[in-house]
Amino acid sequence: MTSPVNPAAAALRQPALRSPEFGLALGLVIGRFALDMQDLHYGFWTDDLEVTPQNLPRAQARYTDELIADIPADVRSILDVGCGAGNTAYKLLNRGYEVDCVSPNAWLTTEARRLLGTRARVFESKFENVPLDRTYDLILFSESFLFMKAEQALAKAESALRPGGYILISDIFKIPADEKSPIGGGQDLRRYRALLDASRFTQLKDTDMTANIAPTFDLLNRAYVEAIGPAYGLILARLDASYPRVMKLVRWKWRAKIARLENKHFGGKRDAAHFMRHKSYRRMLYQLRTGAPAGH
C-alpha cells in the first residue's frame, strides 16, 4: 500500500533549474497566486486599460489576441517554441489549430503537459535540438527568440516548415543607445534584420509594439522597489541578527556582486522610460520562400 502524496511536500521537490528558468517559474507561481496570472509574457496596454497589477492578466490576454490576429488564414498547424506553461497553445487549440510545443524548462514543461493533456505534444528540448517528425505551417516564437542563437534558430525553422510556411516572432530587440541599458535581453535589431535579409524568409508584417509593452516595466519596477526590495532587506536583517559573523563574511567576500545585484534590481531604472530608450518590441511575420537565399 502506497502512502498518500502530500501536495505541499511534492511542491518542494522540483527539477534543477538554471537562473533564467528559475525566474520564469517563480514569476508564474507568484503571479498565479497573487493575480490569477496564466501567462509569462508581457502585457499589451492600451489607453483604456489602467496600468495596475490587477490588470496585468487582461493586458497579457490582449497580447495573445494581438498575436493570434497575425496568423495567416492558410495556417492549420503550429509549433509553439518556448510555450511557457502552455496557455497560448491552449487558446490556439481552442480556435481549431493543430499545435505542438517546445519547452526547454522542465518545470514549465510539466505545467504545459498538465494543461494541454493529450491535445498537444510538448517536447522538452531546446528548439535547435528538438527531434521533429513532421513539418508545420507556422512556427511561433513568443518571447523565446531572444534566448536563441538567431542563425541556428532560423536554420531549424527552415527545416521544420512546409514550403511557403511562416514564422511569427514577437520579442524584445536591442537598439543603439549612448548609455548601457539597465534592462538586459534581446537580439540586436540591426544584426537580426541583416540576417533575415540574407535568409530565405520574406517579411510580411512588422508591428512596433514598444509603447504598448513598456508599461509592464513600470509595474515590474514598482514591484522591485515597493515589494521585493523591502522583503529582501527584511530577510537580510533577519539573517544579520541570527548569523552576524557569517553575514559579515558574506557581505565582505561578495560585496561587489551584492552591490551590482542591488543596483540592478532595486535602482529604479528598469522602468518604461529606460525600456523605450534601449529596446524595441516588435511582432514580425515572415514567409519561407523557395529558391536560394537573397544575395546568393
Tens-place pLDDT, residues 39-76: 678 899 999 999 998 899 999 999 999 999 999 999 99
Overall pTM surpassing 0.95 (yes/no): no
Q: What is the mean pLDDT of residues 217-235?
A: 86
For 240, the grid coordinates are: 544579520
- CA angle at 101 for the pair 96 and 104, rounded to the nearest 5°: 160
Domains of the chain: 53-213+280-288 (3.40.50.150)
For helices 56-69 and 19-35, angle between their N-to-C axes, nearest 10 degrees: 120
Least confident piece of the model among 36-50, 81-95, 108-122, 129-143:
36-50
Residue 103's pLDDT is what?
92
Helix residue ranges per DSSP H, the chain: 7-12, 19-35, 56-69, 87-94, 106-116, 150-160, 189-197, 210-213, 215-223, 229-242, 244-253, 255-266, 272-278
Task: Indicate if the pLDDT at residue 15 is higher than 90.
Answer: no
Rounded mean pLDDT, 6-30: 52
Mean pLDDT of the chain: 86
SS3 content of the chain, % helix, strand, coil (to 5): 50, 20, 30
For residue 110, count other CB atoms closer than 10 A to its CB.
Answer: 17
CB 221 within 8 A of CB 268: yes
Res 146: pLDDT:
87
**pLDDT more than 90, % of the chain:** 58
